[in-house]
Amino acid sequence: MKRLFSCLLAAALCLAAAAQPARRYCNPLPMPIGPGGNASGDVSVLFDGGKYYMFCTGGGAWVSEDLANWDFHAVEHVPVAPDVVKYRGRYYMTGNDCPVYVADSPLGPYSVLGEWKNTSDLAHGWNGAFDTHIFIDDDGQPYLFWPGRGVSGIYGVKLDPDDLTRFASEPVHLFSFNPMHAWERYGEMNEYPGVAWIEGPWVIKRNGVYYLEYSASGTQWRTYAEGYYTAKSPLGPYEYAPNNPLLRKTDGLVTGTAHGSIVKGPDGDWWQFYTIVLSNPPGGRRIGMDRVRFDADGYMSVEVTETPQPVPGSASAPVSIPVTINKMVAMNALSSASSAQDGYPAAYAVDNFSGTLWRPAADDKAPSLTVELSPATRFDVVQLFEADAVRILFGGGGRRFYRNAGLPVYKYRLEVSMDGKEFTTVVDKTRNETPRDTDYVDFAPVHCRFVRLTVTGWPAESPLGIIDFTVFGRPAGDLPAAVPIPTI
């Protein structure tokens, strides 16, 4: 009877989670991966016809109606750092070291429109197409923005309305690297005052003000960050915003937050998409998203998050924001793993750092990780929790794996327990067929003291690695200490 009750409870919890529409998202975003497409940074998002179209380095495109649920679509000719804009009913795609492409649909098929013209003057920072961004003003006039190389900064030019491959005026140098802006400097501590890599321009217009965001110090650093300038005209003059940097985070799982785009969401607010730089090079990069806020003076700000947040359009609803609960103690005495390879201990899966990973033994066919959630010593009360979400970052062969092998389909099961003996399944993805290297699942709140992750399937072409395993929830009661403290 007890086993039957556990099975019924598990089924009810899984059905409840599946039936509820997404009310929260969590960074890094759990983007599906398809043949010829991996959401690996340099993200640009286009809104058109009630849908959002995301393009990234790595190829392909993702489509959503709510910025919360994304479907992958194969698209040919997607370059590094792609940018897609709608102009006069057609769609123009540009990027690094490629011609201008055009299509009648944002998903293509794209054909070559032509090469950039009037670009021979290197004094204007043009050294081949690099991080190009086309902005269409309210009056229909198109502009092109691009970075020079290294410390050169950002340039802009008016485009010919009848031929987007042709400059209609002399380019303008909008701004360059400023070593006084310490966050723009190279290095994990921004310690190189004379070196930087300024890139990734993106422009929006709000209340008559043009906001030009850009990235520095370089995508190889966790200090990779986003800043912005403002102007009253698309080509300036631009003023450095006093509250820079706009996005910067160097610890935790969401780091190196830069090279992105801003788009108005279904709730009418602006949302920032950005690249996340993982500390472990084989892990590649991920995508993040957070709300943009404007103060009374019109300055932008973005709080970079890595806990569950309300999806766009649900900010007014009572959405619970849980805390991270299985990172308080990592692998304590009551936590365990089925196996681990030398140099890849289980504690690496719960250390809140993207530069490490747990790798189970090669012959472990169903590797599992059990974490006791209470931070108590034997003299403390035992903390209980109400868990309601899980996030997993899988690691294997990195970007080379996605190019040369099968898609990353991972299968797993998450269970909870009060005593560490009887477990109830709250997330069952043992039949999953959707390729992702990051997953996030909300489930019905459940009281527990232990959580157990069991991986039941992964790509045969790659060794299994868990970069991060996070359970979210909140404290919910306690039990007496194992060794009571004597009273005097």
* Rounded percentage of the chain residues whose pLDDT exceeds 90: 74
Q: What is the pLDDT of residue 381?
A: 86
Length of the chain counted residue by residue: 488
Closest CA to 263 of 41, 55, 32, 27: 55
Nearest to 109 by CA among 93, 95, 97, 96: 93
Give the model confidence (pLDDT) of 150-183 as tens digits.
999 999 999 999 999 999 999 999 999 999 999 9
DSSP conformation class of 399 = H
Neighbours of 204 (CB within 10 A): 18
pLDDT tens digit sequence for 419-434 = 999 999 999 999 999 9
Can you tell me the mean pLDDT for 332-357?
Answer: 92
Q: Do 2-17+323-479 and 27-306 come out as alike in CATH topology? A: no
Q: Tens of pLDDT along 197-230?
A: 999 999 999 999 999 999 999 998 999 999 999 9
CA dihedral sign of residues 23, 385, 441, 252: positive
- The pLDDT-based confidence of 339 (bands split at 50, 70, 90) is very high
Tokens (6 digits) for 172: 């303008």
Report d(CA 88, CA 289) in Å as an integer: 29
pLDDT above 80 (res 120): no
Rounded Cα distance between 196 and 111, Å, is: 35
User: What pLDDT is attached to residue 248?
Assistant: 97
CATH of 2-17+323-479, one of 3.40.50.300, 2.40.420.20, 2.60.120.260, 2.40.160.60: 2.60.120.260
pLDDT tens for 44-69 read 999 999 999 999 998 999 999 999 99
Query: Domain map of the chain by residue range?
Result: 2-17+323-479, 27-306
Q: For residue 235, with 0-12 CB atoms within 10 Å meaning exposed, 13-18 middle and 19 or more buried, which class applies? A: middle
Measured at the CA of 57, the angle between CA 56 and CA 61, to 5 degrees, comes to 35
The answer to whether 463 and 362 are in contact (CB under 8 A) is yes
pLDDT in tens, 357-367: 999 999 999 99
Average pLDDT along the chain: 89
User: What's the CATH number for 27-306?
Assistant: 2.115.10.20
Peptide bond into 316 cis (omega under 30): no
Nearest CA-CA partner of 451 in 460, 441, 463: 441
Q: In which element (H, E) is residue 15 found?
A: helix 2-19
